[in-house]
Amino acid sequence: MGSSSGQSSGSYDLSFKILLIGDSGAGKSSLLVSLISASAEDLAPTIGVDFKIKFLTVGGKRLKLTIWDTAGQERFRTLTSSYYRGAQGIILVYDVTRRETFTNLSTVWAKEVELYSTNRDCVKMLVGNKVDRPEKLEEIHGFRILKGL
């Protein structure tokens, strides 16, 4: 599991651990694949946890991002909880065409973050996915959820 992409995978100045969480089918793995390979595929649900490594340069510093892609399915929840430890960034993903994936961010996923994240300074980001399907749009204004994080 896992692969690296970007500039040559040798030295770097800073390393960050980033976690993708959210309901099954929200599009976490698709986001990660498009970040790494600029392609979109029809993916199968993630089993447990996967990761990919991305190198990039920001402000003259070489960064190594280890991006952990967790399974949204409930049966993997106990396994994925251990991956919150030490994460500097958590990306909460929902599907704008399915309202419950948005409401679950506060009722399920924010609670997971509270329980398992060990880094008080962890940066949280909310991503509303599948905006290419506006005909199915249910909820796009996600800022309310951030109040609870």
Ligand X SMILES: Nc1nc2c(ncn2[C@@H]2O[C@H](COP(=O)(O)OP(=O)(O)OP(=O)(O)O)[C@@H](O)[C@H]2O)c(=O)[nH]1
Rounded alpha-carbon distances, angstroms, from residue 33 to 30, 39, 130, 131, 149: 5, 7, 14, 17, 26
Site stretch for ligand X (CB under 6 A), options 2-10, 22-30, 60-68, 80-88: 22-30
48 vs 89 by CB, closer to ligand X: 48
Q: What is the DSSP string of 77-97?
A: HHHHGGGGTT-SEEEEEEETT
Cα–Cα distance for residue pair 106/56, rounded to 1 Å? 31
- Order of strands, sheet of 89-95, starting from the edge strand that comes earlier in the sequence: 4-6, 49-58, 61-70, 14-21, 89-95, 123-129
Beta-bridge partner residues of 67 = 18, 52
Interacting partner of 30 out of ligand X, Mg ion, none (Cβ under 5 to 8 A depending on kind): ligand X
Instruction: Give the binding site for Mg ion (CB under 5 A).
Output: 28-29, 46
State in angstroms the smallest separation of the CB of 25 from ligand X: 4
- Residue from the set 7, 12, 36, 43 that interacts with ligand X by CB under 6 A: 43
Interacting partner of 18 out of ligand X, Mg ion, none (Cβ under 5 to 8 A depending on kind): none
Using the rule CB under 6 A, is 45 a contact of ligand X?
Answer: yes
Six-digit token string for 104: 């679950």
- Residues 77-136 within binding reach of ligand X (CB under 6 A): 129-130, 132-133
Binding site for ligand X (CB under 6 A): 22, 24-30, 42-43, 45-46, 71-73, 129-130, 132-133
